[in-house]
Structure 1
Amino acid sequence: MRFVAMGDSFTEGVGDELDGGAVRGWADLVAAGLASGLDESVDYANLAIRGRLIRPIVDEQLEPALALSPRPDVLAFNGGGNDMMRPGFDRDEIVRLTQRVVKRTEREGVKLLLQTGADPTDGLPRGEMLRSRVTVFTDMLTELEDTYEHVTFVNNYADEEMRRAGYWAPDRLHLNALGHRRVAARVLTALGVPTELPSLEADHQAPTGVLVEARYYATYVLPWIGRRLTRRSSGDGRSAKFADWVRIEPEAVEKA
């Protein structure tokens, strides 16, 4: 099995931080879960870079992913989330670029995994605007799965459980370790490795209050606005964490 992932911070694994500053995330967990569930080694690559808009993802990651040798069996693609948070959101461009990925993978005989991120809008400023944009995008991905035999679609956005604050990192935009594990379980099940969904305790409560909100805006919202105004990205200067195949062995899988 050869599994490659492309995308932005969601696929890179931001929010699931490891000791030393590296990130893990759902795609790493899927690679490990495939190795364990299939009881065989899995070759894994991850070309995702945080902060990327959908056009750079497709322009800069698609062909390198398909050019990996040997060719991938499964390519996971997620993009558009950063576009949806910007004023100049262009739905038609997102549709065109997603269709480009669909048709290229079909020509190459590579299975395509499409998915949405989970729904962060309860905790975000202008969350209703983002929700309306994602709903249209989700409908399009559902149609692609119905149309193309090689496409599998995982709708994490429809997972009501993951809207709870306990699945999200302090920035409220990226999933935390538990959130990434839940996404990985949904993806593994879709890929034929049935995996139990990890969940929060029913009585889990996130901290709330004026001081909590003030710290959140000062720590995350204002710096995000500053990057937009100066046209900087959190991914500037970064490269893919696994630009070529790495071998994942079944016996090396962490039992989290």
Structure 2
Amino acid sequence: MIVGGTDRYLALGDSFTEGVGDDKKHWPNGVKGWADWVAEGLARDAPGWEYANLAVRSKRLRHVAAEQLEAAMDPKPTLVTLYAGGNDVMDVGTSMARILQEYESLVARLAQSGAAPLLFTGYDVEVSPPLAPLRSKNHAYNDGIRTIAAKYGATVVDYASWTAYENPAMWCSDRLHMSKRGHKYLAGRVLDLLEVPHGISLKDKSHPPTTWKQRGYGHYRWYMEWVVPLIGRKMRRTTLGDSLGPRWPEPVRVPPKKGLRKLVRASLQATR
């Protein structure tokens, strides 16, 4: 168990850690996400925790290494979470050997900081049959994550193996990012791994079956609202994260009561 006081938690990565899918209108970048929930859980259990979230949506491993790694090393962290590489896996023509080599270099640097690193496998999201070849790349990615974690003494949050995420309610409409329920569930599981008590429900709620018409309309809506714009961005060589910065770029002291919401409210009042 990690004990608070003067401890610091740093979250690195892409949209997964930024919090995309857990929409919060007035929060930085308009989202909250599992890492914020974890930071609040740490602070409630042991007041004094500081927290920075450097993750930005659409970032690849090279971006995490260039834009987030140095900031994570100074000031020295107590806990670091890293989810990165999912966007690299989805890019056409990328080499798994190269992806895992870049990933391992990140983990090696983080291990040198003396922090307790938490690494994540990638979930096999059931998106669409034409994207099925990505699953084999994702399996290779997950196997590599487990091997690298063992090599550097890191803890694996193996959410690729959790059946709770078979529930469609755990995912938002783009079918790639977790919904608010998915983010909260993940936060609870991470806090369990850290042996930090929390009040997040981890019950796998059932979901009603869908009709073939609902599934057909869902596929059409997903294609028009997410796939077509994604193809357009790739043709223009732009990403959703191009105009965004980290949500919590500098370590903030997380209030044990009311959590980060208290800091958001204070920021809103200061700008009025």
TM-score normalized by the length of structure 1: 0.90
Deviations for 1:133-176, whole angstroms, at most 9, x for unmatched residues?
A: 11111112212232223x11101111122022111101111100
Give the conservation status (yes or no) of the 8 Å contact 1:178–1:198.
no
C-alpha distance in 1 between matches for 2:49 and 2:23: 23
| Unmatched runs of 5 consecutive residues or more in structure 2 | 1-6, 261-272
Give the conservation status (yes or no) of the 8 Å contact 1:166–1:206.
no
SS at match of 1:75: strand
Letter in 1 for 2:257: E
Letter in 2 for 1:19: K
C-alpha distance in 2 between matches for 1:167 and 1:213: 17
Q: Specify whether residues 152 and 51 from structure 1 end up closer, same or farther in structure 2 by C-alpha distance, changes over 3 A only.
A: same
Shift of 1:194: 4.9
Equivalence for 1:106: 111
Equivalence for 1:130: 134
Structure 1 vs Structure 2: percent identity of aligned residues? 34
Q: Specify whether residues 236 and 217 from structure 1 end up closer, same or farther in structure 2 by C-alpha distance, changes over 3 A only.
A: same
Equivalence for 2:190: 187
SS at match of 2:155: strand
Give the conservation status (yes or no) of the 8 Å contact 2:169–2:207.
no
C-alpha distance in 1 between matches for 2:243 and 2:112: 32
Equivalence for 2:54: 47
The answer to whether structure 1 residue 10 and structure 2 residue 16 are counterparts is yes
C-alpha distance in 2 between matches for 1:141 and 1:211: 36
Q: Which segments of structure 1 move beyond 4 Å, counting only runs of 4 or more? A: 194-197
Q: Specify whether residues 203 and 105 from structure 1 end up closer, same or farther in structure 2 by C-alpha distance, changes over 3 A only.
A: closer
Shift of 1:239: 0.7
Equivalence for 2:263: none
C-alpha distance in 1 between matches for 2:208 and 2:186: 19
Equivalence for 1:235: 241
Give the conservation status (yes or no) of the 8 Å contact 1:4–1:65.
yes
Give the conservation status (yes or no) of the 8 Å contact 1:119–1:162.
no
Which range moved further: 22-31 or 157-166?
157-166
| Unmatched runs of 5 consecutive residues or more in structure 1 | none
C-alpha distance in 2 between matches for 1:14 and 1:3: 19
Which range moved further: 110-119 or 226-235?
110-119
Letter in 1 for 2:180: A
Superposed, which structure 2 residues align to 1:162-177 within 5 Å?
162-177=165-180
Shift of 1:111: 1.6
- Which of these residues, 13, 22, 31, is aligned with residue 30 of structure 2? 22
Equivalence for 1:198: 202
SS at match of 1:52: coil
Q: Specify whether residues 79 and 206 from structure 1 end up closer, same or farther in structure 2 by C-alpha distance, changes over 3 A only.
A: farther
Give the conservation status (yes or no) of the 8 Å contact 1:119–1:158.
no
Shift of 1:29: 0.6
C-alpha distance in 2 between matches for 1:172 and 1:39: 35
Equivalence for 2:268: none
TM-score normalized by the length of structure 2: 0.85
Superposed, which structure 2 residues align to 1:82-101 within 5 Å?
82-101=87-106
Letter in 1 for 2:142: T
